[in-house]
Structure 1
């Protein structure tokens, strides 16, 4: 079984945020696939083999919460980290209910929490890969 590439798909309708997150991801050693249209996210996830998505919540083409629900419904193993400029408990609670790993607020003045969420998502993904690989090893009887 082949482990997924270390590529992260990021969707946001703001060019400034797309560039900022792209620069951050490449700076910390990941490949970044930046998408400005949430309708193109499934295609981007498939093309890159990415298992992590960073999504804005408020976008004109599709609400990020709807994208979260759709993504997790199609593949519950994809880790989704939400970003939002709309500060409020509703977005955070809905994100949690529908399976987001974390929800962070824009502007990203301090990126350390986002980096921690990305690292935690990769640790979770790696744990699943380890379990899958162990399940294919023959058991030895003593």
Structure 2
């Protein structure tokens, strides 16, 4: 089985670094981006099955980035992470096409399982990615 490639978009460098290391140890290939614009650029340039996306970031927020991802790359699955338990945001994210909405700090095992579930639902393959 191919390694799952994810794009982790989060403006908190310390959090991204720790989470990327934990996911890498669990067999997931992780590329990080510091904000929505950087993440969208990387997504346009490379192949990812799953995006892990912070809800609150400077510039474009997670919901704006999610909508752009679903418009440009509808087959990519997106899991949103948030530090705030805001039901309205969770519903808006799910309605915009998010695969899941998880509270920070995310349990690494649960997040890893959701990444694998999302990758199975991903509607693109390496062949289609070019």
TM-score normalised over the length of structure 1: 0.80
Gaps (5+ residues) in structure 1? 131-142
The structure showing larger relative contact order (alpha-carbon pairs under 8 Å, at least 6 residues apart) is 2
User: Shift in Å at residue 101 of structure 1?
Assistant: 0.5
Residue in structure 2 matched with residue 133 of structure 1 by the alignment: none
User: Rg larger in 1 or in 2?
Assistant: 1
Deviation at 1:86, TM superposition (A): 1.4
Aligned residue-pair number = 124
Alpha-carbon deviation of 1:45? 1.5
Q: Which residue is equivalent to 2:39?
A: 41
**Does the Cα contact within 8 Å between 1:5 and 1:48 map onto a contact in 2?**
no
Q: Does the aligned pair in 2 maintain the 1:45–1:51 contact within 8 Å?
A: no
Q: 1:18 to 1:34 in 2, by over 3 A?
A: same
Cα RMSD between the aligned structures?
A: 1.8
The runs of at least 4 consecutive aligned structure 1 residues that moved more than 4 Å come to none
- The unaligned stretches of length 5 or more in structure 2 are 126-130
CA contact (8 A) 1:8 1:50 kept: yes
Measure, in 2, the Cα distance between the counterparts of 1:79 and 1:129: 10
Give the TM-score taking structure 2 as reference length: 0.86
